[in-house]
Amino acid sequence: MLRIRRDLVDAMVAHARRDHPDEACGILAGQEDEAERIIPMLNAARSPTYYEFDATEWNAVYREMSAKDEEPVVIYHSHTATEPYPSRTDIARAGEYATLLPSPHYVLIGTRDPDHHELRSYRIDDGEVTEEEVVVSEAHETQRR
């Protein structure tokens, strides 16, 4: 299950809408499976059917997260014309990330309907895709103090 704050969901959806018709991509950084902040990134492919992190930006973001003792809790991107389900390319990319990332949630945001978005989350392990429940909460419900 992915528990995520509403403000982070709203920010991901806004990013996906801004970049439409190209796919948007980014990371939610945090600790211990709790996303704390959004890092919208550039889709270096600038494509409506494919996303790719810019290598220079990825390295800078990864160094920044390491310096803050954070990890990528969520890797997100949008699907602009298809349902938000991982493509073969998305699954292969998750395999590549597996050497660098602990076990992120993969959130896909469907933006094909201009009036409605669809948000779904998956775990991808050794090419196997498992959809997981997404619980959206208000900020005060997920903050640990």
Output the domain CATH number for residue 127.
3.40.140.10
**pTM greater than 0.85:** yes
Residue 144 falls within a domain, yes or no? no
In the chain, the largest separation of any two C-alpha atoms, in whole Å, equals 41
pLDDT in tens, 13-34: 999 999 999 999 999 999 989 9
Residue 143 falls within a domain, yes or no? no
Question: Average pLDDT of 125-135?
Answer: 95
**CB within 8 Å of 87: residues ≥ 6 apart:** 79
Dihedral sign of CA atoms 89, 48, 29, 118 in order: negative
Buried b (16+ CB within 10 A) or exposed e, 71-105: bbbbbbbbbbeeebebeeebbebbeebeeeeeebb
Residues of the domain holding 103: 2-138
Number of folded domains that form the chain: 1
